[in-house]
């Protein structure tokens, strides 16, 4: 009996290093990075830039896969239910992570229970942009116009609970007498295309998506949503400079995995991404897009997300929007 027990323990002991080596050698095959918005938007661009750096550093392809819809919730739900083996990652964003739990009555995932947060990638301001046919050239003029056309102006968003929607709701909340109609899309890129085409009146897109249209004269920009002016559009005033004291809105993107992903994989990803974010070429590319490089520990990102969920719960409640 004793020899059999000894053999059993020897077999178990022999299997442990192999199991550890399996995660220690991660990745041993291509890794998917899910982007929950259509191609061409900031989420897609950041995912591809970071994915390229991960491919170079870890010697495996990091493949971008787009799963848009429901203001980013479809892609987030897909990753929440994916095997926690390190081979399915997500570019998580503020709307589906921090706001959707307050906007949707039956959200199919829990942003705290179902995800492992790896590191924040970028922060970015949004901008208030109008189709050139809208007769306002400053925030003050636009507020007066919107009050005179209560309920008649419409704004595009990437869907209920997304960052464009939340920025618009914050604006409405801080300007009494204004009401506008949301026109939701499956992402920021198609929403911007319809704004440029004149199908909608205005939008609060992120600065990376909007700047090419602003510089081409196809959209009129009135203000940025951050406390400080953006180096990308230095002549554009902030909302605070335009008379809305306390207006401060930044969206963010971060690298996320399904809950239960091995700790050593999370640590390896965190270290690799933070190193990539320090590289001069990636930082230069991000800066050119008007994005602020973030980084940090997994624990810091997790704590930040908890605070964001509370913050956007207050915005959603104050806006009076009905749950979807």
23 vs 193: CA distance, rounded Å: 43
131 vs 217: CA distance, rounded Å: 10
CATH (residue range 31-123+251-319): 3.40.190.150
Q: Write out pLDDT tens, residues 240-267.
A: 999 999 999 999 999 999 999 999 999 9
The predicted structure's pLDDT at residue 208: 84
What pTM does this model have? 0.80
Q: Where in the chain is the domain with CATH 3.40.190.10?
A: 127-224
Model confidence at 166: pLDDT above 60: yes
The predicted structure's pLDDT at residue 14: 47
**Cβ-Cβ contacts under 8 Å for 102 (sequence gap 6 or more):** 161, 309, 312, 313, 316, 317, 323
134 vs 198: CA distance, rounded Å: 10
Q: Write out pLDDT tens, residues 3-54.
A: 454 444 444 444 444 434 446 799 999 999 999 988 888 899 999 999 999 9
Model confidence at 314: pLDDT above 60: yes
Q: Which CATH class is domain 127-224?
A: alpha beta
∠ at Cα 194 (191, 196), nearest 5°? 110
**Cβ-Cβ contacts under 8 Å for 201 (sequence gap 6 or more):** 130, 131, 134, 153, 154, 155, 195
According to the per-residue pLDDT averaged within each range, which of 77-86, 185-194, 223-232 is highest?
Answer: 77-86
Using CB atoms within 10 A of its CB, is residue 99 exposed (0-12), middle (13-18) or buried (19+)? Answer: buried
43 vs 46: CA distance, rounded Å: 5
Query: What is the per-residue DSSP string for 157-200?
Result: ESSTTSHHHHHHHHHHHHSTT---EEEE-SSHHHHHHHHHTTSS
Place of tokens 């906007």: 103
* Mean pLDDT along residues 289-310: 94
Distance of CA 316 to the CA centre of its chain: 17
The predicted structure's pLDDT at residue 290: 79
Distance of CA 322 to the CA centre of its chain: 23
β-strand partners of 252: 123
Q: What are 64's two structure tokens? A: 């971008």
Tell me the average pLDDT of the chain. 90
Q: Where in the chain is the domain with CATH 3.40.190.150?
A: 31-123+251-319
The predicted structure's pLDDT at residue 23: 60
316 vs 306, more confident:
306
Query: What is the per-residue DSSP string for 83-137?
Result: -SSSSEEEEEEHIIIIIHHHH-TT-SS-TTTSEEEEEEEEEEEBEEEE-TTS--S
Model confidence at 227: pLDDT above 80: yes
The predicted structure's pLDDT at residue 11: 47
């Amino acid at each position: 009996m004793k020899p059999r027990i000894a053999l059993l323990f020897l077999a178990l002991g022999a299997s442990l290093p192999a199991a550890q080596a399996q995660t220690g050698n991660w990745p041993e095959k291509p890794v998917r990075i899910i982007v929950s918005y259509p191609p061409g938007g900031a989420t897609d661009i950041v995912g591809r830039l970071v994915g390229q750096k991960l491919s170079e550093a870890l010697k495996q392809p990091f493949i971008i896969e787009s799963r848009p819809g429901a203001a980013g919730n479809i892609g987030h739900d897909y990753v929440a239910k994916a095997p926690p083996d390190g081979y399915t990652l997500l570019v998580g964003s503020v709307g589906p992570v921090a706001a959707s739990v307050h906007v949707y009555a039956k959200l199919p995932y829990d942003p705290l229970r179902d995800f492992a947060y790896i590191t924040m990638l970028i922060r970015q301001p949004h901008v208030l942009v109008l189709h050139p046919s809208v007769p306002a050239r400053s925030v003050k003029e636009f507020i007066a116009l919107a009050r005179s056309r209560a309920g008649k102006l419409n704004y595009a968003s990437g869907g209920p609970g997304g960052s464009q929607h939340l920025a618009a709701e914050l604006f409405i909340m801080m300007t009494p007498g204004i009401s506008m109609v949301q026109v939701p899309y499956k992402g920021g890129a198609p929403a911007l295309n319809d704004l440029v085409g004149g199908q909608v009146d205005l939008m609060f897109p992120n600065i990376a998506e909007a700047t090419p249209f602003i510089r081409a004269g196809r959209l009129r920009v009135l203000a940025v949503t951050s406390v400080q002016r953006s180096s990308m559009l230095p002549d554009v005033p902030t909302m605070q400079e335009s008379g809305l004291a306390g207006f401060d809105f930044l969206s963010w993107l971060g690298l996320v995995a399904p809950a239960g992903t091995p700790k050593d994989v999370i640590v390896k990803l965190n270290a690799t991404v933070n190193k990539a974010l320090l590289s001069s070429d990636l930082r230069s590319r991000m800066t050119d897009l008007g994005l602020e490089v973030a980084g940090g520990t997994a624990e810091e990102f997790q704590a930040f997300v908890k605070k964001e969920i509370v913050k956007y719960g207050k915005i959603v409640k104050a806006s009076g929007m009905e749950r979807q």
